[in-house]
Amino acid sequence: MPGKLIDGKAIAEAINAETVTEIGRLKEQRGLIPGLAVVLVGDDPASVAYVSSKDKMCARLGLHSERVNLPASTSEGELLAIINDLNFKREVHGILVQSPLPPQISARNIFTAIDPTKDVDGFHPLNVGKVALGDPTGFTPCTPAGVHQLLIRSGVKIDGAHVVVLGRSHLVGRPVSLILSQKAPNADATVTVCHSRSRNLAEICRSADILIAAIGAPRFVTAEMVCEGAVIIDVGINRVEDKAAKNGYRLVGDVNFDAVVPKASLITPVPGGVGPMTIALLMHNTVRAAKMRHGVA
């Protein structure tokens, strides 16, 4: 079992170490400190915890960090005004607006309002287009980029592999399918994207060399949906009731881990798989944004 696990924590730490080295170089050579601003609207517990973890990581790696906390009643116009201010703030190189947003605010309008050169979450239409075209100057969304790095740094052969992606969201499913199907190193996969209307889903999943689950359904992927030797990347994070747990719940993925692990050649655990990679790639993107803005190679 230990040999089958893809250790997202360890791989994220390796990326963080590279980021720290780059931050040190920017400080020493240019007097430049990359800065990240995170905007949180409302008090959703999961979002609050996630934003706090980003604050802590900025402090740990040596990035400048700003946090904007807004009430859930904030209007779209008020949020757009704050984003406009951050777009012109010199100390801020990356802007992230935490999802989900309250119903009175259009996520599409907010993502479009962020300066694409500061869009370290990779959701601006310009960056989405660059990812689709394989343009390396764009910002790739952090979770799909994290999935890609997990595969690369685990030595998984992507070239020519059949990748099945469960989920077509703009957050994970679509961008990861674009990344892995590009004509590029560590890509060139044949990618099938499945969703709630897909027919013969189990049969399609069994044909996958690499199965990426990102549908938000606890333990959805069963052993019958996985072929022997497949690589399994579980993006899902779901709370399920567990009276024995301290908080009354525990976190599980979109994959029925215990059932699937005997058949997998490699598999990510939940937690400790994709999650740490998302924050590591956010920090990496922020440093990239600072370098691009100041013309540093």
- CB distance 137 to 291 below 8 Å: no
Cα 197 from Cα 176, distance rounded (Å): 19
Name the strand (E) or helix (H) holding 41.
Answer: strand 35-41
Pairing of strands 162-166, 190-194: parallel
Name the strand (E) or helix (H) holding 160.
Answer: none
Q: What is the DSSP string of 161-209?
A: -EEEEE---TTTHHHHHHHHHSSSTT---EEEEE-TT-SSHHHHHHT-S
List the catalytic residues: 54, 98, 121
For Cα atoms 238, 241, 246, give the angle at the middle one, nearest 5 degrees.
100
Cα 161 from Cα 157, distance rounded (Å): 7
